[in-house]
Structure 1
Amino acid sequence: MKRMTAQEVQEYMKNNKDVSIIDVRETDEVMAGKIPGAVNIPLGLIEFRLPDIDKSKEHIMVCRSGSRSGMATNILESRGYNVINMDGGMLDWDGQTE
Structure 2
Amino acid sequence: MRKIKNMKEKITGIISILSSIIWTIIALYFLVESSVNSDKYISLGILVSSISVMLYVIWTNYSIINSSKLKKMDIDIQLLKKELEKKELEKKLNEYK
TM-score, with structure 1 as normaliser: 0.22
Larger gyration radius, structure 1 or structure 2: 2
Greater strand percent: which structure? 1
Q: Which has the higher helix share?
A: 2
Normalised TM-score (structure 2)? 0.22
Relative contact order higher in (CA < 8 Å, ≥ 6 apart)? 1
